Chain A
Amino acid sequence: MTLTHDMTEDRLLVTAQDARIDAAVAIQFKDQMRALTAHAPARVVLDLHKVMFIDSSGLGAIVGAMKQLREGQKLELAGLTPNVDKVFRLTRMDTIFTIHTDVDAALDHADG
């Protein structure tokens, strides 16, 4: 489970490098996200464009990563591939997150 990141004073961008966020790596994902977001700015964007498959464990880990944020921090998602997008829609978790088409759209979208 590899997450790369790029941090500026305005935002932390995390890119998931694995094709799957599933039961095999859900705990590692959540643990790594906790470490990355602990000292990050208020805005955290998770780029999922390389992720082709998530199951309910992966979805739970993404929700868990959001719950680990401190008050005032926010987790946004970008680049959901079709199967991943479907999991968010079927579970209605797409109503819980701000979801951007891709990272460019996310980073152009600066909350005022």
Chain B
Amino acid sequence: MTEQPDPSADFARTLQLASTPAAVRTALTQVIGMLQRSCVSDTACGMIELVIAESLNNVVEHAYRDDRTGKISLDVALLRGGVEVTIRDHGQALPDGALPVPRKPALDAARADLPEGGFGWLLIRSMTSRLVYSRKDGQNQLHLRIELNRLD
């Protein structure tokens, strides 16, 4: 089912992409281009790109388990001073059907035990004012909001 973009938004776009790192890069370039044309600052664009990249990477690597034939839909809207993002996929559900509980990476470990992963949700949470996960009829939906005036 295709969702219609919200007509009251400053702008809204829906992109469809395959679940590959190259497609994620292309989608990010398109989204950032749109935001820049709407005069979103470079600083803000950098952080928005990171949040969307982390969210899409999670779908590619975990929802679709690197299956390159998966499909992802990405809605981006500039709305009331923030960027609203909705990502939908038909991959595996989040473990326990919920967003992971925030936990601090163990940085006081010995070098050989330092974490190489697990930073994605930390980065997403640190830059979003709203983060909601839901699943229905085999489809994951992640909705998040980034406030443009809190990104310095």
Query: Residues on A close to B: CB < 8 A?
Result: 20, 22-24, 53, 55-57, 59-61, 63-64, 66-67, 82-83, 86-87, 90-93, 95-96
Contact = CB atoms under 8 A, between A and B. Distances in A.
23 contacts: A22-B21, A23-B21, A23-B53, A23-B57, A23-B60, A24-B21, A53-B50, A53-B53, A56-B54, A56-B57, A56-B123, A57-B57, A59-B119, A60-B115, A60-B116, A60-B119, A63-B115, A66-B114, A67-B112, A86-B46, A87-B123, A90-B126, A95-B107
Contacts, number: 72
Q: Is the interface of A mostly helix, strand, loop or mixed?
A: helix
The 10 tightest CB contacts between A and B, nearest first, are A24-B21, A83-B46, A60-B116, A56-B119, A56-B120, A55-B53, A23-B21, A64-B116, A23-B57, A91-B119
Interface of B: 21-22, 24-25, 43, 46-47, 49-50, 53-54, 57, 60-61, 105, 107, 111-112, 114-117, 119-120, 122-123, 126-127
Nearest to A90: B126
Given A59-B119, A60-B119, A95-B107, A24 B114 contact: no
B111 A93 contact: no
B123 A90 contact: yes
Contacts of B112: 67
B87 to A, nearest CB: 15
Q: Is the interface of B mostly helix, strand, loop or mixed?
A: helix
A29 to B, nearest CB: 12
Contacts of A93: 107, 119
B111 A24 contact: no
Contact of A23 (B24, B111, B127): B24
Contacts of B114: 63, 66-67, 96
Given A23-B57, A87-B123, A90-B123, A63 B46 contact: no
Contacts of B107: 92-93, 95-96
Contact of A67 (B25, B49, B116, B123): B116
Contacts of B54: 55-56
Given A56-B54, A83-B46, A67 B21 contact: no
A83 B119 contact: no
Most buried by A among B49, B57, B119: B119
